[in-house]
Chain A
Amino acid sequence: MMRNTLQNAAFVKWACMVVAVIWAIIYHLSQHSAGLSGFVYVNF
């Protein structure tokens, strides 16, 4: 029971992150004509 609850909580957390990432990508595409180029970058 406890294990199921924990697994469900982890799944909900993961699903929320997926939704947020998809939203970020769609938002980025709507703002930039260059597509995804330069979106995932390393700058350190």
Chain B
Amino acid sequence: MDYRFIGLLSVIGLLRWLCPQRAFSLFGALMSAALIGFVAPTSAVVVMTITLLFVYPAHRLMCYADARRWTHSIQRAIFLGAVFALVALLAVFKFHQQLSARHASGARLDTSAIELIGFSYFMFRVIGFLHVQSILKQPASPLTLVFYTMFPSTFTSGPIQKYQDFKRQTDSPAAIDAALLTKGVYRVTRGYFRKLVVAELFNRAVISVLALTPTVWTSGVAVLLLYLYFYFDFAGYSDLAVGFGLFLGINVPDNFRKPFTATTVSEFWRHYHITLVDWFRDHVFVPLGGLTGSRVRAALVAAVVMLLCGFWHGLTISFLAWGVWHGGMLFIEALMGSTPVPPSRRQGPQYWSRVLWTNARIAFGAIFFLPDPAATIRLIKGFGHLGLR
């Protein structure tokens, strides 16, 4: 997402006012395709082609199979075949993205990687769509599907809205009134503030601290700053997505809900990047028997989900380590049956010590997100030096 994207999004928000309610899906599909096509033509062509020539036909085939009462195993094979093809495509894309990122100068991805970044969120949306439709088997409109997969405010990095939720809103679009606009303006302003002011300050602080000789003190401060930087950067982006979504007449779900007050790691993940975690719960954790099996099975599935989540961020050792770190914590918590502190007891030193302990462990995982693995190793080594002369 860059300033051109945001500028055009604002223009489309204004055009939304002129659009008749019954033509909302048509307007949305056309405007979304035009906007993504203007800013990221490769992404637009790839996403549109996959949506109309693969996802939609696969969905219609599933509906047809259900109407003709094909056997359950054939219907399941159609669904799993389609998902397998999409996952394989995502893996190829990730490999390509990694190659692009390797050629990037400095810590940030180059523009070709940024242009393609929306692709993995697109995959989440279409796999979720196919999964839900394999259960509901309700024929979808291709226009609504294109609007859903290319919805501009969530295209690059979510939040991952559920198809049913999106469809409900396109079927009966909300009237844009003063209250909705006020909310949208506030979220957009807060988004810019978090991204351009708060996250940028933390980013600069991280760079300064990383330049110091690593000791337990500098490593500790760097971990804390990184943790806060990632939060404000992503929460700021999510605010922009929600705010611009409101201008376009769609209520986009929130991605964060006071994650720093969590008292267990699993509670933290129910309040941080909520839509991604919800997606993994609905489409991976539950189908693999995470809810219905034994405690050991639930712990194992939770660990596997975090490993997948790590690999989704990139096929690197750092992200594997991140997945192992978080997966390991969830595995232990699930085995021990750790539960969050109930709302009535959320005060006093015992509660705050649990909050601190949870945040410290999660913050440590942020060092695996450093783009340079050498910097990650230096920080870890720093924890072994007291820095006393």
Which residues from chain A sit less than 8 Å from chain B, CB to CB? 10, 14, 17-18, 20-21, 23-25, 28, 36-44
Contacts and interface: CB of A to CB of B under 8 A. Distances in A.
A14 B197 contact: no
B311 to A, nearest CB: 15
List the 3 closest pairs (A to B, CB-CB), nearest first.
Answer: A17-B193, A24-B196, A21-B192
Nearest to A24: B196
Interface string B246-290: 000000000000000000000000000000000000000000000
Given A14-B189, A17-B190, A21-B192, A40 B6 contact: yes
Contacts of B369: 44
Contacts of A18: 189
A44 B203 CA distance: 14
Interface size of B as a range: 20 to 34
A43 B175 CA distance: 34
Contacts, number: 60
Interface stretch (B25-33, B230-238, B346-354): B230-238
B189 A17 contact: yes
A18 B313 CA distance: 32
Contact of B196 (A21, A42, A43, A44): A21
A24 B6 CA distance: 17
B233 A44 contact: yes
Decide if the interface of chain B is mainly helix, strand, loop or mixed: helix
B193 A44 contact: no
Contacts of B1: 40-42
B233 A43 contact: yes
B305 to A, nearest CB: 18
Contacts of A23: 197
Contacts of B117: 42
B206 to A, nearest CB: 13
Contact of A40 (B109, B189, B195): B195
A41 B111 CA distance: 10
B2 interface: yes
B197 A21 contact: yes
Contact of B2 (A14, A17, A28, A40): A40
Given A17-B189, A21-B192, A41 B197 contact: no
